[in-house]
Structure 1
Amino acid sequence: MSSTIVWLRDDLRLDDNPALSAAAAGPDRMTVVYILDEVSPGIRPLGGAAKWWLHHSLAALSADLESKGSRLLLRRGAASAELRGLSEETDAGSILWNRRYGLAERTVDAGIKEWAAGQGITATSFQANLLFEPWTVRTGTGGPYKVFTPFWRSCLAGAEPRMPADAPQRLPQPAPAASGSLPVSDSLDSWGLLPRRPDWSTGLAETWTPGERGAGLRLEDFLDGPVEEYGTGRDLPGVEGTSRLSPHLRFGEISPFRVWQALRQRYPRNAPADVGTFRSELGWREFCWHLLYENPGLATDNYRREFDRFAWQTPSDAELTAWHQGRTGYPLVDAGMRQLWQTGWMHNRVRMAAASFLVKNLLADWRLGEAWFWDTLVDADAASNPANWQWVAGSGADASPYFRIFNPVTQSKKFDSRGRYLRRFIPELADLDDKAVHEPWKDSTAADAYPAPLVGLQESRARALDAYQQLKEG
């Protein structure tokens, strides 16, 4: 008897999982496999925080599959080799997966389809993790969009995203190997995804619940509160004003179609403007993936190639360490960097301020920041992370103009006026009043407890603008 392989990647869920549902609807036994592939050409290994998330997400998925009568098989190595071996072990007649959009991943998938066709194995892929696939949204001349607003307008003018499919009630039994026993699975613990010495993940565990159930609870909490004030709440780091769905979407623990449908059900007509603002943030995620699809080197190459001539400076070890550790002397930047280290996440408004400080006030290459976020963010994905860094740096698509330099003092006074966010992550400033907490160098009581500013804002701003002027003048 032949069997079906369902190959999971960034879609660690049972709900609205087209590849899994297609296999569940068929007559064959089924092997559900996750392959940790860090060796195929061009595949970018996960950062430390993402590895922590992946471990717990796979553990949750394994339990969910077992509750439905299935199991999760774990393998490590080049995906093409592992799938070929597994198809022979289980006499697989078909391999199903949900599509990916990076060039390295697409190359792997295309190679497997070509091999499968030569073996008489059916290989089928599905749309699961983007509402609008890159080749379906094009300009009037047939090219890709380079500016977000017309891109999103085009998306919304098309067909409504499909309805999500519920998780199957039961799943086919696991497929045995030729020996009659089940294929051997790696032990999740043997992959070493969790930090050990030291274990820096305590704050992550206190903040997050990886897995499909955690994703559903996040969505419910968001719809029951912050969504109707999202337009303003998303800018206030001291309140729970965002969805915090980003890591769940990154690992595919919830489908964007399910999020879209939940909004549609909650607001069948006349949705508040804040809901539209949140939908546009889903759209920005889509836009980033479209950019990566068209520009595979997004994490290494300037989207605007004139920035290849930009005079980035190499920060000193002390400067870069101060930024990493949240000791730049500017409370908003430091609170964000400490939040990132403690929780694996940073509020988006603060991300922009922290990134702007690195690439403009310190004049450091944006790739240094992108690499640090890749290693420390639980929601770092191959599209949004580099696209957003390039947006701040001015080198990206639809980018913030380079001369827009976030002033961290102005930003914290505007968006965290009472210093709630600052005090939470910088306890040494807890006793300062609401005015002094934004500029502690002006308060003598903070001098010993908190570092002096790493650079002057006016001087470093002038230096950045001068470098940008030199770029414009060629």
Structure 2
Amino acid sequence: MKAACWFRCDLRTADHPALSAACEMGAQDALFVISPRQWSMHDDAPAKLLFWREALKSLAQALAERGIVLRLLKVESWEELPGALVTFCQTHAISALHCNREQGVYERRRDRQAYTELKAQGIDLVGHDGQTLFAPGSLKTGAGDYYRVFTPFSKTAIARLSESAVNVLPSPSLKSPIEADAVQAVVHDIDRFWPAIELENAHQERLLASWPASESEALQRLDTFTTERVEHYHSQRDFPALTGTSTLSPYLAAGLLSPGQCLRAALQANGGEFTSGLPGVRTWINELLWREFYRHLLFGFPHLSMHKPLREQTENVQWRDAPQDYEAWCQGCTGIPVVDAAMRQLLETAWMHNRLRMIVAMFLTKNLLIDWRKGEAFFMRHLIDGDLAANNGGWQWSASTGADAAPYFRVFNPLSQSQKFDPKGLFLRRWLPELSDLDDRSIHDPDSQQRAKLGYPEPIVDLKTSRLRAIAAFENI
């Protein structure tokens, strides 16, 4: 049998079960599907598409060094894909196509249809679990249900992981490399077939300088974080003015890193311990398991991929139709400094600090009482690390509509959050230069005179009364 690997959200060579299995069968071909209309339907951000385009070029080179040609298949949407895959496999005499499974309902539907049409032509579509630590569906409660609460999920996961070493697959060995001209032809085709990136060239250059898109960069960042910064992760991760987070999310979203590689690096930094040792490492492992939790939820509750809340009764919340408030939130013009600074960070860098994601999400869904789905879509259209499971999980947590979500009566006060996690106003001064000369106290909530003098807007909502309005809206259901 002649095999090939179909790459999706896993643009790496190491710890890649599908690639390893295909290479064991002597694979000389790999496949990536370009589907512009599908990406648009999924709200994939221009910054994300830019990052993936460059990551794919890097992958083409890494595969070429292993004697594998990366081939491109362009379809506008997945409806066209099954037939195109059959033609591709027949053209290249491929009898087994290996891939890592995805958790979204539309991705699973795509794969079922592809499997059926390929099988009818004697071609196998072979799925592997390379995007999660556990096969989705393999961790369930004693009653056989999917976990809806994180803590028991994480305890079960850690117990299972503790039973054996966390191993990662090496990259396939180097073979007679593909000629340089052939590799350049693939890179040229990636540029030629890729949809236009709707960002100014200068912005694209800044993004790629901040987020170099390659597997080697991902591994280097993982090593730097786990050897130099993870020790302080628990105490610094909530402060947006510090480099306290891992900055690995774009690399995980594109699959330039696997969760197994991250977990193994964390354990190496902590003497192999899950529940003792460095608190920074334990906290980061917990975050990796939150990522895992959200992917298992996406698999277990398909309606999450269909713009539905996990807690079905919250479908009856009476969200406000407030386009002016929504637009002010989108543009970072709410008059709440921490919210505006966070949104400006997102618009400029295509990334937002995790603590700020919670603050702005809760402000939109609680203080403005605007449907969480509007915020979820806006994030996906702007984030370089846009990931359906994590983004949906985070928004539903903030909106009190999802699994293990914040209780509806728990509403962050953005001013106290700002004072607690940016006490000197360093982050605010960076993104709100018009407020930079204010003192450390005033910058979090300037008075009316200061706002008028500096041209900064009044708050679009009263935090106290809007909080009560949100609580009432949830109590009414």
In structure 2, what residue type is equivalent to 1:215? A
Distance 1:51 1:41 in 2: 9
2:55 matched to 1:57? yes
In structure 2, what residue type is equivalent to 1:25? E
Partner in structure 1 of residue 383 of structure 2: 377
Tell whether the 8 Å contact from 1:41 to 1:104 is kept in structure 2 after alignment: no
Partner in structure 2 of residue 146 of structure 1: 148
In structure 2, what residue type is equivalent to 1:404? R
Distance 2:319 2:176 in 1: 56
Partner in structure 2 of residue 298 of structure 1: 304
- Structure 1 residue 109, shift from structure 2 partner: 1.6
- Structure 1 residue 38, shift from structure 2 partner: 5.1
Partner in structure 1 of residue 181 of structure 2: none
Instruction: Give the secondary structure class of the aligned counterpart of 1:95.
Output: strand
Change (3 A) 1:161 1:408: farther
The aligned runs of 1:89-238 (5 Å cut-off) are: 89-158=91-160, 159-160=163-164, 162-171=166-175, 186-196=189-199, 200-238=203-241
Partner in structure 2 of residue 4 of structure 1: 3
Distance 1:443 1:423 in 2: 19
Deviations 1:176-201 (A, max 9, x none): xxxxxx99994434322422568643
Where is the helix percentage greater, Structure 1 or Structure 2?
A: 2
Instruction: Give the secondary structure class of the aligned counterpart of 2:320.
Output: coil
Partner in structure 2 of residue 178 of structure 1: none
Distance 2:255 2:6 in 1: 13
Tell whether the 8 Å contact from 1:55 to 1:194 is kept in structure 2 after alignment: no
- Structure 1 residue 115, shift from structure 2 partner: 3.0
- Structure 1 residue 413, shift from structure 2 partner: 0.4
Distance 1:460 1:222 in 2: 40
Q: Which of these residues, 416, 423, 429, is aligned with residue 423 of structure 1?
A: 429
Distance 1:328 1:420 in 2: 19
Tell whether the 8 Å contact from 2:34 to 2:193 is kept in structure 1 after alignment: no
Distance 2:469 2:165 in 1: 47
Distance 1:198 1:165 in 2: 37
Instruction: Give the secondary structure class of the aligned counterpart of 2:32.
Output: strand
Distance 2:137 2:218 in 1: 28
Distance 1:183 1:119 in 2: 28
TM-score, structure 2 as length reference = 0.91
In structure 2, what residue type is equivalent to 1:273? P
- Structure 1 residue 455, shift from structure 2 partner: 1.2
Tell whether the 8 Å contact from 1:52 to 1:193 is kept in structure 2 after alignment: no
Partner in structure 2 of residue 44 of structure 1: 42
Q: Identity across aligned pairs (percent)?
A: 37
Partner in structure 2 of residue 406 of structure 1: 412
Number of residue equivalences: 462
Change (3 A) 1:153 1:321: same
- Structure 1 residue 462, shift from structure 2 partner: 2.1
Change (3 A) 1:414 1:325: same
Distance 2:279 2:57 in 1: 38
In structure 2, what residue type is equivalent to 1:71? V
Distance 1:38 1:25 in 2: 32
CA RMSD across the alignment? 2.4
Change (3 A) 1:171 1:23: farther
Distance 2:38 2:110 in 1: 8
Change (3 A) 1:424 1:45: closer
In the alignment, structure 1 segments of 5+ residues that lack a partner are 175-181
- Structure 1 residue 403, shift from structure 2 partner: 1.3
